[in-house]
């Protein structure tokens, strides 16, 4: 069993990096399986159409709870033990959801699926810890690629499995896979017991102080919140837009969703370039690409083949911008200090997931009240807000308030 190594001697093997990337993808996919299965799940458990949104919302609430109250534990509890315990929680929740006879039990299970799946955000900083300083950006980029692929493949995979064996099958299958993953991780993960020890109450109270005292964290979280808000808005509304205005079937929409998988290629590339000191400029580029992705489809609105092609292009470039900037931001945050890495990551993910929730809400509201024209306008504005904030970065650096991030 491997013990902690001095930082200068630390290095992560290729197979461990692949394992952690696959683990993150398989775990985080649990958050997204139900999104395309709302209809059959509601019919089976007796949930009304009005309350159908709870199926996804409750899972996301569980994830945010885990980010705020479980991920910080990785700064005080031995990480392998914490990982295994939370995966066992996820397995129990998946099996409960699979066999839930009513809405109440299913929603409770969904809450704990979200809480248990937060392990993905324990493993990403674990990978950063295992990596040397010179390889950290590449390692985080590769692991985040696995996580992003899990997000992107979850929806079409859930639909495909459901078409064969029903919606309960995807939860049972995931429980089996996560069980095997838990056994493997418990055997191969090295021991990591952070020091110094801090009481849990003080640990949670420290979140506010960390957020206040770490301008790089606030800045990176707000950049990503704006980009992820635009991303969530796009993927919340575009399936409806494709069905309403292009007559696309569910199978066609599933193929469209797979376009986003290609955007994950930006993650390892961005990580490698960030290792060379290009993080700041790549952030600006990612924000501009996200804004242009929406501006393109806002200006060229029609129901023509060209408009459909532009939607495909925008889906790809928007996903590239979001995934690339996510890796750059996490690398910068992990460089701020190893002792608070779990809390830094938890705060960062909480803020940018909140941006995604706001984006999803704005997408549904805007499409109902102003159609695709209003939705695409709001989608353009969100990254532009990040761009305006980005332009203040140079000024802040002069007075030394954000120097740590510039070093990343």
387: CATH:
1.20.1250.20
DSSP secondary-structure letter at 4? -
Omega before 196 within 30 of 0, i.e. cis: yes
Cβ pair 40, 65 in contact under 8 A: no
Tens of pLDDT, residue by residue, the chain (408 residues): 444 444 445 677 889 999 999 999 999 999 888 876 766 887 889 877 556 557 777 887 888 889 888 988 887 889 999 999 999 999 999 999 999 999 999 999 999 999 999 999 899 888 888 887 777 777 877 887 788 788 878 878 887 888 788 899 999 999 999 999 999 999 999 988 876 566 778 878 888 888 888 888 999 999 999 998 898 788 777 777 887 888 877 577 777 877 777 776 777 777 778 777 777 888 999 999 999 999 988 888 778 888 888 998 998 899 889 888 888 887 888 777 666 776 787 788 888 877 877 787 787 778 878 888 999 999 999 999 999 999 987 654 443 334 344 334
Say if 3 falls within a structural domain.
no
Residue at which a domain ends, from 174, 197, 220 = 197
Same domain, 158 and 15: yes
Same domain, 164 and 212: no
Same domain, 227 and 367: yes
pLDDT value of position 397: 45
Same domain, 74 and 107: yes
pLDDT value of position 182: 97
φ and ψ at 15, to 5 degrees?
-70, -35
Say if 63 falls within a structural domain.
yes
The whole model's pTM is what? 0.74
pLDDT value of position 408: 42
pLDDT value of position 36: 67
| Cα separation, 176 vs 94, whole angstroms | 9
Which structural domain range is residue 325 located in? Answer: 198-408
Same domain, 121 and 217: no
Same domain, 170 and 268: no
Say if 1 falls within a structural domain.
no
Residue at which a domain ends, from 177, 197, 217 = 197
Say if 254 falls within a structural domain.
yes
pLDDT value of position 8: 47
Same domain, 89 and 176: yes
Same domain, 375 and 391: yes
Same domain, 188 and 210: no
Same domain, 80 and 184: yes
Same domain, 187 and 225: no
**Residue 255 burial by CB count (10 A; 0-12/13-18/19+): exposed, middle or buried?**
exposed
Residue at which a domain ends, from 154, 177, 197 = 197
Say if 99 falls within a structural domain.
yes
Same domain, 242 and 174: no
């Amino acid at each position: 069993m491997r013990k902690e190594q001095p930082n200068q001697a630390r290095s992560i093997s290729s197979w461990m990096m692949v394992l952690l990337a696959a683990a993150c993808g398989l775990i985080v996919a649990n958050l997204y399986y139900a999104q395309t299965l709302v209809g059959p799940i509601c019919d089976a458990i007796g949930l009304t159409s009005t309350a159908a949104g709870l199926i996804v919302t409750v899972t996301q609430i569980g994830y945010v709870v885990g980010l705020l109250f479980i991920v910080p534990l990785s700064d005080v509890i031995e990480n392998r033990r914490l990982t295994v315990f939370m995966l066992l929680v996820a397995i129990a929740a998946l099996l409960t959801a699979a066999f839930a006879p009513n809405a109440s039990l299913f929603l409770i299970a969904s809450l704990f699926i979200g809480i248990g799946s937060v392990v993905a955000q324990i493993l990403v900083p674990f990978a950063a810890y295992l990596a040397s300083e010179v390889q950290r950006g590449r390692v985080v980029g590769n692991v985040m690629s696995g996580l992003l692929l899990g997000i992107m493949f979850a929806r079409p995979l859930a639909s495909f499995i459901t078409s064969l064996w029903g919606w309960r099958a995807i939860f049972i299958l995931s429980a089996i896979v996560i069980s095997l993953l838990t056994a493997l991780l418990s055997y191969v993960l090295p021991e990591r017991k952070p020091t110094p020890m801090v009481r849990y109450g003080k640990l949670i109270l420290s979140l506010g102080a960390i957020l206040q005292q770490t301008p790089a964290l606030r800045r990176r979280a707000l950049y990503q919140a704006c980009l992820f808000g635009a991303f969530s808005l796009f993927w919340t509304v575009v399936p409806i837009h494709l069905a309403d205005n292009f007559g696309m079937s569910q199978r066609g929409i599933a193929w469209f969703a797979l376009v986003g998988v290609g955007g994950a290629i930006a993650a390892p590339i961005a990580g490698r370039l960030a290792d060379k000191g290009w993080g700041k400029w790549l952030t600006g580029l990612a924000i501009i690409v996200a804004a242009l992705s929406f501006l393109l489809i806002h200006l060229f609105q029609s129901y023509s083949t060209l408009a459909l092609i532009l939607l495909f292009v925008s889906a790809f470039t928007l996903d590239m911008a979001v995934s690339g900037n996510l890796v750059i931001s996490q690398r910068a945050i992990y460089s701020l200090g190893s002792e608070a890495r779990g809390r830094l990551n938890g705060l960062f993910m909480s803020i940018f997931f909140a941006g995604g929730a706001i984006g999803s809400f704005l997408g549904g509201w805007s499409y109902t009240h102003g159609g695709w024209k209003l939705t695409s306008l709001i989608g353009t504005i969100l990254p532009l807000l990040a761009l305006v904030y980005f332009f203040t970065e140079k000024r802040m650096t002069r007075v030394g308030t954000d120097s740590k991030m510039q070093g990343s």
